[in-house]
Amino acid sequence: MTKNNSSIPENEFSTLVMSENEQIEILNKLNKNKGIIENDSKKYFDEDAAKNIIASYYKTINFNQLKPNESFKALHFLIESTHKPVKYNPTQYLYNWVDLQEDGNLKSIYSGNIRNPEEVIAEDIEIITKRKNELDSLLTNHSLTENELETHKKRIEENHKLNCEHVVPQSWFHKQEPMRGDLHHLFACDPVCNSMRSNYPYHDFPDYEGGIELESIRQKCGKLEESLFEPEYAKGIVARATLYFLLRYPDKITNEKEKNIDIELLLKWHEQYPVSIYEKHRNQSIQDTQGNRNPLIDFPQYGRNIDFSLSSS
């Protein structure tokens, strides 16, 4: 077994730790953005301006002339070539603008629970510090093998969940960048719902209707049964985010997990739950941050004109 050498390894949780000045800057940005929304709703999302931005972004693509396999390839090239990746950091990129609702609050992706963004940021800062401190103490223990250390890291992350959900679970792509930091599939999420969903695939239970009380439903997050998860809230949102991921990252999800993705279900949810102003705001804000867009939000009517089976070929 490989053991830690005499030097103390780098603490990977340190990458999310922020200085006091950085924390103040993030909160100032949040307050500024909330003020902007309150004073001018068009600053949250401007439909007229978006039409021109969308037309320019997709100027090389004519959906009516492309076959489903051609649409997949053309969209993949576009959203990959325009992507300017940012490192995973929800406190910096997600909570203070991208994921804000029209009223300036956050909403937990699976439960719909309303959250105060200042509180979410404060919670994550505290959680990040706890993670770092616990791992620091372990890194000085040179008797731990690398496998043992990895096991402890996973335990620390499970015990101290951030308020952020990867709609495509990190374990499905080995926590690698740029997938890990891609804002298109990152959402504010209560830790209890994050833990409940874990890394299980989405599913549609015939006997489940949102809002009912069952033993398998916790904190109104959704239903978990036999390693399958149906969210209580935001099915259309998570469907479009997952379909984006399949377009952007073909072959990046492990084969074991890829086979459990129900593309037909995602398209069903996509059609059943229309695109919201919140998603349009996110889409524009994310383009401003990382350069690319989610075509399922911009052109929902063409969802079935894209051959998503190519994501695993």
- CA–chain centroid gap for 231, Å, is 14
**Residue 1, pLDDT score:** 42
Given a cut of 60, is residue 3 above it in pLDDT?
no
Mean pLDDT of 105-114: 96
pLDDT tops 50 at residue 151: yes
- 165: helix, coil or strand? strand
How many CB atoms are located within 10 Å of the residue 269 CB? 22
CA distance 178 to 287: 15
Q: Give the pLDDT mean for 5-33.
A: 83
Q: Is 287 helix (H, G, I), strand (E, B) or coil?
A: helix
Task: Supply 292's token pair.
Answer: 């690319």
What pLDDT, in 10s, does the model give residues 180-216? 999 999 999 999 999 999 999 999 999 877 654 444 4
Has residue 6 got a pLDDT over 70? Answer: no
223 beta partners: 217, 230
Instruction: Give the per-residue pLDDT at 219.
Output: 57
244-256 confidence digits (pLDDT tens): 999 999 999 999 9
Q: CA 32, CA 300: separation in Å to the nearest integer?
A: 32
Computed over every residue of the chain, the mean pLDDT equals 91
Q: Distance of CA 262 to CAs 25, 83, 142, 244, Å? A: 41, 26, 44, 14
> Encoding tokens for residue 295?
């075509």
Angle between helices 20-39 and 117-139 (to 10 degrees): 160
Question: What percent of the chain is modeled with pLDDT above 90?
Answer: 77
Tell me the C-alpha distance between 242 and 245, whole Å: 5
